[in-house]
Amino acid sequence: MRSTYNPKRQLSGVAADIFQSGGHMLSGGFLQEIHEQSEVQNYAIGTRLHIDDRVFRYCKARSALKAGHGARNNNYPREGNISAVEFEAGSYTITLPMNDHGVDYTLEQTLNYWAEGFIWIMYSDQTKGFGHQYRIKSSTVASGTIPTQYVTLTLYEALHEDVAASCWITAWPNIYSNIRDADYQKSSVVCVPPRPVTSGYFFWGQTWGPCQMQQTHAAGGLENDDRMFFFHENNPGQIVTGSQVADIKLSQFAGFLLTNTTAWTNVGDAGEAGGDAFCNLQLNP
């Protein structure tokens, strides 16, 4: 990090070539470049890495992933009633009920499964609004037995008001902890791997900035003003422009085309249509 000074504005500041936030390298972790995968976790899940015009998040793959294809968060929400005790304002902990019918029930019981996720707590008095939300710092191993089995969550911020016994909550694990290929049409694309990733490995998934992706149909930009890309619902992880999908509202927005796609002639004197799939990915800045 370097100090900077703007004489016109008379303001000082700092400059950095790479910026890491919202996470950290783990104790004993090693530097992992954006085109490397690792069987061992080196950073906290969800750590944000800002390099040049691009942003990446540190992810865990739960299936094999393809480079340049959108990959989805496959985590499920967990909702239900907290334990039958009141949690007072100022407390940093609250309980989360387990459900043995949940798809990821076995994983949800494990240490820190919910770390860096979120919990929403319903207001007992609905005149105050819908509820309040907190970031989860850590979570314990589940204790008790169904139907009174709970995980204890530790929050980054203290509860700002009392939470009544058996209050209704919903919790979500970190969206980058369970990344799968895009063949899950009821889940959303949250990153694009810059390299092929082995199931179970950790990687940097791109979430913002210049990114070449796999397109489903002809390359984008062949029609005037056709600049927006969407993830195609029937071709996992691949993108199409607005004119190439029958119903845009069924597709998740991916970003916009960056290049001038006017037709041109190549060195062999053959005509090129001018289409491209180099987009400004817009998932999470």
**For the chain, how far is it from start to end, CA to CA, in angstroms?**
21
Angle at Cα 88 formed by Cα 85 and Cα 92, nearest 5°?
100
pLDDT at 127: 77
Strand-pair partners of 134: 119
Cβ–Cβ under 8 Å, residues 176 and 188: no
CATH number of 78-172: 2.40.30
What is the distance between the alpha carbons of residues 266 and 112, in angstroms, rounded to a whole number? 55
The pLDDT mean for the chain works out to 91
Best CA proximity match to 89, nearest among 123, 138, 136: 123
Written as six digits, the tokens of 138 are 């850590």
Using pLDDT thresholds of 50, 70 and 90, give the confidence band for residue 246: low
Cβ–Cβ under 8 Å, residues 26 and 44: yes
**Minimum mean pLDDT range among 13-27, 140-154, 199-213:** 13-27
Domain ranges of the chain: 11-74+176-285, 78-172
Question: Hey, what amino acid is at 75?
Answer: N
pLDDT at 216: 76
What is the distance between the alpha carbons of residues 157 and 153, in angstroms, rounded to a whole number? 12
pLDDT at 17: 84
Best CA proximity match to 277, nearest among 230, 193, 212: 212
Residue 99, pLDDT > 70, answer yes
Residue 256 to residues 57, 146, 234: CA-CA distances in angstroms? 20, 48, 20
What count of other Cβ atoms lies within 10 Å of the Cβ of residue 195?
14
Q: What's the predicted TM-score (pTM) here?
A: 0.91
Written as six digits, the tokens of 259 are 């290049």
Give the pLDDT confidence of 224-238 residue by residue, as tens digits.
888 999 988 766 688
